[in-house]
Chain A
Amino acid sequence: MDRLLSLLLALLQPLALLAAAPLFTAVVGRFKARLQNRRGVPLKTPYRELRKWAAKEAVVARTASPLFRAAPYIVFASTLLAAAALPVWETASPGAHVADAIVLIGLLGLARFMLVLAGLDVGTPFGGMGASREMLVANFAEPALLLVVFTLAMTTHTTNIGAMAAATLHGAPVLRPSYMFALAALLMVAVAECGRIPVDNPSTHLELTMIHEGMVLEYSGRHLALMEWAAQLKLLLFAVLTVDLFLPWGLATRMSPTAWLLALPLLLVKLAGLALVLAVSETVLAKMRLFRVPGYLTLAFLLALLGLLSHVILESAP
Chain B
Amino acid sequence: MNLGTLPLVDQAVLVLAAMALFSAFALLAQSRLLAAIHVFAWQGFLVAAVAALTGAASRDPHLYLSAAITLGLKVLLIPWMLHRLLRRLSLERQADPLAYPALTLLAAAAIVVFADWVAAPVAQFEHSATRNVIAISLAIVLLGLLMMVVRRQALAQVLGFMAMENGLFLAAVASTHGMPLVVELGVAFDVLVAMVLFGVFFLQIKDSIDSLDVDRLSQLSASIERDEITEQRP
Direct A–B contact in the complex, CB atoms closer than 8 angstroms = yes
Which bracket fits the contact residues of A?
20 to 34
List the A side residues contacting B22 at CB < 8 Å.
Answer: 181, 303, 306
CB distance from B198 to the nearest CB of A (A): 29
A313 adjacent to B12 (CB under 8 Å): no
A177 adjacent to B18 (CB under 8 Å): yes
List the B side residues contacting A283 at CB < 8 Å.
Answer: none
Which of B105, B109, B113, B136 is A314 in contact with, Cβ under 8 Å?
B136
Known contacts A309-B113, A318-B123, A175 near B1 by CB under 8 Å: no
Q: Is B89 an interface residue (CB 8 A)?
A: no
In chain B, residues 1-42, which have Cβ atoms closer than 8 Å to a Cβ of chain A? 1-4, 8, 11-12, 14-15, 17-19, 21-22, 25, 29
Known contacts A174-B11, A314-B136, A315-B3, A298 near B21 by CB under 8 Å: no
B120 adjacent to A175 (CB under 8 Å): no
List the B side residues contacting A298 at CB < 8 Å.
Answer: 101-102, 105
Which of A176, A302, A303 is B3 in contact with, Cβ under 8 Å?
A176
The total number of A-B Cβ pairs within 8 Å is 68
List the B side residues contacting A269 at CB < 8 Å.
Answer: none
Q: Is B165 an interface residue (CB 8 A)?
A: no
Q: Is A4 an interface residue (CB 8 A)?
A: no
B101 adjacent to A314 (CB under 8 Å): no
Q: Mark A278-318, 1 if CB is under 8 A from B, else 0.
A: 00000000000000000100110011011001101111011
Known contacts A298-B101, A306-B25, A318 near B19 by CB under 8 Å: no
List the B side residues contacting A312 at CB < 8 Å.
Answer: 116
Known contacts A298-B102, A306-B18, A313 near B116 by CB under 8 Å: yes
CB distance from B176 to the nearest CB of A (A): 19
Q: Which of B1, B14, B25, B133 has the most CB of A within 10 A?
A: B14
Majority-rule SS of A interface residues: helix
CB distance from B46 to the nearest CB of A (A): 12
Majority-rule SS of B interface residues: helix
- Chain A residue nearest in CB terms to B31: A295
A313 adjacent to B3 (CB under 8 Å): no
B11 adjacent to A309 (CB under 8 Å): no
CB distance from A285 to the nearest CB of B (A): 16
List the B side residues contacting A178 at CB < 8 Å.
Answer: 18
Q: Is B124 an interface residue (CB 8 A)?
A: yes
Q: Which of A176, A177, A305 has the most CB of B within 10 A?
A: A177
Q: Is B135 an interface residue (CB 8 A)?
A: yes
Known contacts A310-B21, A313-B136, A177 near B105 by CB under 8 Å: no
A181 adjacent to B18 (CB under 8 Å): yes
Q: Is A1 an interface residue (CB 8 A)?
A: no
Q: Is A180 an interface residue (CB 8 A)?
A: yes
Known contacts A175-B11, A302-B25, A314 near B17 by CB under 8 Å: yes
Q: Is A66 an interface residue (CB 8 A)?
A: no
Q: Is B166 an interface residue (CB 8 A)?
A: no
Interface residues of A (CB under 8 A from B): 171-172, 174-178, 180-181, 295, 298-299, 302-303, 305-306, 309-310, 312-315, 317-318
Interface residues of B (CB under 8 A from A): 1-4, 8, 11-12, 14-15, 17-19, 21-22, 25, 29, 101-102, 105, 109, 112-113, 116, 120, 123-124, 132-133, 135-136, 139
A-B pairs with beta carbons under 8 Å apart, 6 shown: A176-B3, A177-B18, A180-B15, A181-B22, A295-B101, A310-B136
